[in-house]
Chains A and B, each alone.
Chain A
Amino acid sequence: EPEVTQTPSHQVTQMGQEVILRCVPISNHLYFYWYRQILGQKVEFLVSFYNNEISEKSEIFDDQFSVERPDGSNFTLKIRSTKLEDSAMYFCASSGTSGNRGIQYFGAGTRLSVL
């Protein structure tokens, strides 16, 4: 069964450093997403991406964050200058359709620890 893969599974970084989290969505999907979950809190939406541009983003997704689809298979989330409060589990998702009938398929997540 096709799946979304995320690398690395755990990333440790120093405050102020840049990190790039990588995702390979399901190959025929067109819609891509990033979510995060701070320990003990809800899974929160960050951004959605379609047709090589951001289609929706939350208040969390400020200028420190960016997304890119650098080639036909990868989808990346970059945090320019990490803060302690960026420590969280980051989930990538993809879907073949949009709207509230579309199922989103999630990766296993990248745990980001900012020291």
Chain B
Amino acid sequence: GNSVTQMEGPVTLSEEAFLTINCTYTATGYPSLFWYVQYPGEGLQLLLKATKADDKGSNKGFEATYRKETTSFHLEKGSVQVSDSAVYFCALSANTGNQFYFGTGTSLTVIP
């Protein structure tokens, strides 16, 4: 079946620290992979995506590379800011059906 396993939180970092949030997946076929972010009081917003193996998605300084050999899509940012404090969700869309499969979400707090 299809599933996503995401690093447990919460994560607390100092400003300018390096961020990694791990995400691994199980899927049949060739899924697309996504990172969504939820700021307080707002909806889940697409942060970045990758649709095939070795694709790198990037946005706002965040990056994630679709690694088929390790079934992973880890989120990274070189230098986090206080404004990056949010909950981050890894998600998968399989090539059959329309539903997304989400991880549990990882809460990130960045302190000045």
Binding site for B on A (CB under 8 A): 3-4, 6, 31, 33, 35, 37, 40-45, 48, 55-56, 58, 91, 93, 95, 98-109
For the complex of A and B, the 6 pairs showing the least CB-CB separation, nearest first, are A43-B102, A106-B44, A45-B99, A100-B93, A100-B32, A108-B43
Residues on B with C-beta less than 8 A from A102 are 93, 98
CB within 8 A of A45: which of B31, B32, B46, B101? B101
- Size of the B side of the interface (Cβ < 8 Å), in residues, is 28
Given A98-B98, A100-B31, A108 and B104 contact (CB-CB distance below 8 Å): no
Binding site for A on B (CB under 8 A): 4, 30-32, 34, 36, 41-46, 49, 51, 89, 91, 93-95, 97-105
**Shortest distance in angstroms between A92's beta carbon and chain B's nearest beta carbon?**
9
Q: List 28 A-B contacts (CB under 8 A).
A: A3-B43, A6-B43, A31-B98, A33-B100, A40-B104, A42-B104, A43-B91, A43-B102, A43-B105, A44-B102, A45-B100, A45-B101, A56-B98, A58-B99, A93-B44, A93-B100, A95-B98, A99-B98, A100-B94, A100-B95, A102-B98, A103-B34, A104-B100, A105-B43, A106-B36, A107-B43, A108-B41, A108-B42
A56 touches B104 (CB 8 A): no
**Shortest distance in angstroms between B54's beta carbon and chain A's nearest beta carbon?**
17
Residues on A with C-beta less than 8 A from B51 are 100-101
**Shortest distance in angstroms between B39's beta carbon and chain A's nearest beta carbon?**
10
